Amino acid sequence: MRLFAFEKRLLAIIADAMLPSGVPGGLQRGAASVPTEAFLSDFEKYAPGESMLGVRAATWIITLLPLLWRFKLRPFGALRPTDRYALLNRLEQSRFYLIRELPNLLKIVVCMAWCSDPRVQRDLHFLSPDSAPPQWLLEASEPATSER
């Protein structure tokens, strides 16, 4: 199962809310510093269909949930960063297991992308950061040409 390009963009917005950069006392390099969409294109080649279905469902639910709650009838991407954080926090406090685990499923995927970047590994003081970035990260860093 493959995600559509717009679903990858939605998940990148959620990723940025989960791992924001430049937060005082927090992360210097957040999810936005890693090309999440490029990671997802690689990830979906190898992940089981059930996993991708779960990622898709969690992305859609988190994106559309603010429309049902008191967040001024806006999708997740249109919320202010503080409201995005509040929504994710509220989901994690839910008494329903399935709802509570939605952000965790996406965090697992987002952290796989984020922690794959050797720059992030160095920022986090990994004992032995990767000497070279993964292929998807190299390809995302290449300048676009007219041949593509």
Q: In order along the chain (148 residues), what is the average pLDDT of each group of 10 residues?
A: 94 95 83 93 94 95 88 86 92 92 94 93 90 90 54
Cβ neighbours for 23, distance < 8 A, ≥ 6 positions apart: 30
Q: What are the distances in angstroms from CA 81 to CA 19, 85, 117, 127, 141? A: 11, 6, 24, 32, 27
pLDDT, residue 84, reads 93
Rounded CA-CA distance 62/128 in Å is 35
| Per-residue pLDDT at 73 | 82
Question: What is the predicted pLDDT for the residue at 146?
Answer: 43
4-22 confidence digits (pLDDT tens): 999 999 999 999 999 998 8
Instruction: Give the per-residue pLDDT at 148.
Output: 38
Task: Report the residue count for the chain.
Answer: 148
